[in-house]
Structure 1
Amino acid sequence: MNDVPDPVLRAELERGLAALGLAGALADPLLAYLALLHRWNRTYNLTAIRDPRAMVSLHLLDSLAVHPFVRELGNLADLGSGAGLPGIPLAIAVPALQVTLVESNGKKARFLREAARTLGLGNLRVAESRAEALDAPGAFDAITARAMATLADLLAAGAHLLRPGGRLLAMKGARPEAEIAALPAGWQVVASHPIAVPGLDAERHLVIVGRAPG
């Protein structure tokens, strides 16, 4: 992949965006992000997925499939953001959403800052920190992560970041019944949604966790 988007890549992305109810105009900034990721990945090993066509479905569309659940939020922290997933695609698709990418690895954090600068994303900031060490108590409407850890581990790392009434939006494959059963006291599943990702024939679920009443 060079800096000129492959027409096949663009067509696949535009079909996926249409299937998700998103504007085709998002293809340009998303492909710019993909080109940057592909270029940096040669040196920084940001993702094990090397094929740009696979990145469209497994990275871009997989991240964007949860966009309906973040549109009403003011802000969101993406824990263990890595290459910026799902945070960067969501920041592109929902410009009113303030997204903080939480990433402790210095090389990955450098890439994330470069992506925010290159893409001109004023609603994106990078916190080079472990989630549990981030000093922002009660600062976020929601925290999210893509297959980073168990639900209990995500809460252990990031629950302090949630405002009262804030939610964990956990992106999972199959519905994680064992993880749900192991939620710590005081937390409950508020909702669990099967997610259809265009071009991906695999189970995906968004599990929404909140504080239990009382």
Structure 2
Amino acid sequence: MTDRAPLQRLLEQGIQALGLTLPDGAVERLLDYQALLARWNATYNLTAVRDPQEMITRHLLDSLAILPYVQGQTLADLGTGPGLPGIVLAIAAPGRDILLVDSNGKKVRFLREAIRSLKLEGVRAVQSRVEEVQGQFDCVTARAFATLEDMLGWGGHLLAPDGIWLAMKGRQPDDEFGGIPEGFAVRQVADLKVPGLDAERHLVVLGRA
């Protein structure tokens, strides 16, 4: 059993460094999520990150870094994997309807267990290819699962007319901007500082042109 105290300190320090205020109980639920992910990961190999402290930094804090940019009442997280950033955002800022999309059956089974055991209201998981998902969302998140061209080509139909698309990237993807499909435009490129992470992180904010 992992001692949660050091993980909690790491998470709380990171949240403070990001300048975020989370609802009561959110830190405990985020740690519950990390523990569940670590437990399932031992069997189902859901993420290459195995060290609990690394999970806090590379998964939880990395996902929380985009929280100030999230808007609207509905959110779709495409290629969510084990729920990143979707489940983290659902815990940190509850009250919106969130759809978690992944084509991998093992990951979707984990997502459904996480939604159930963490009692996440308004969150559902679907096993599907992105291009087959229906609906329109105020906010669409995608964490480095494809190029901007492919992301928008497969999932652009999901973005509401005045919605925003949050594409999480490592280095700034200058070579991808030329491939953005017609009808979409870059609104902002934010340089994210993830506490404890010695690697580049950028958020590309897009909208309909």
TM class by shorter chain equals over 0.9
User: TM-score by structure 2 length?
Assistant: 0.95
Worse overlay, 95-104 or 44-53? 95-104
Whether 2:120 is the aligned partner of 1:121: answer: yes
Deviation at 1:95, TM superposition (A): 0.4
Correspondence for 2:80: 81
Check the 8 A contact 2:153/2:181 in 1, yes or no. Answer: no
**Identity, % of aligned positions:** 54
Give RMSD over aligned pairs. 1.3
Whether 2:56 is the aligned partner of 1:56: answer: yes
Correspondence for 2:4: 6
AA partner of residue 45 (structure 2): N
Q: Deviations over 1:120-154 (max 9, x none)?
A: 00021112211101122xx2012111110000100
Check the 8 A contact 1:172/1:207 in 2, yes or no. Answer: yes
Deviation at 1:189, TM superposition (A): 0.4
Structure 1, unpaired ranges of 5+: none
Of 180, 183, 187, the residue aligned with 2:184 is 187
Structure 2, unpaired ranges of 5+: none
Q: How does 1:48-197 map to 2 (within 5 A)?
A: 48-70=48-70, 72-136=71-135, 139-197=136-194
Deviation at 1:25, TM superposition (A): 4.0
- Number of residue-to-residue matches in the alignment: 207
Check the 8 A contact 1:5/1:31 in 2, yes or no. Answer: no
Correspondence for 1:42: 42
Higher relative contact order (CA 8 A, sep 6+): 2
Q: Deviations over 1:10-57 (max 9, x none)?
A: 111110111122337422000000000000001111000110110000
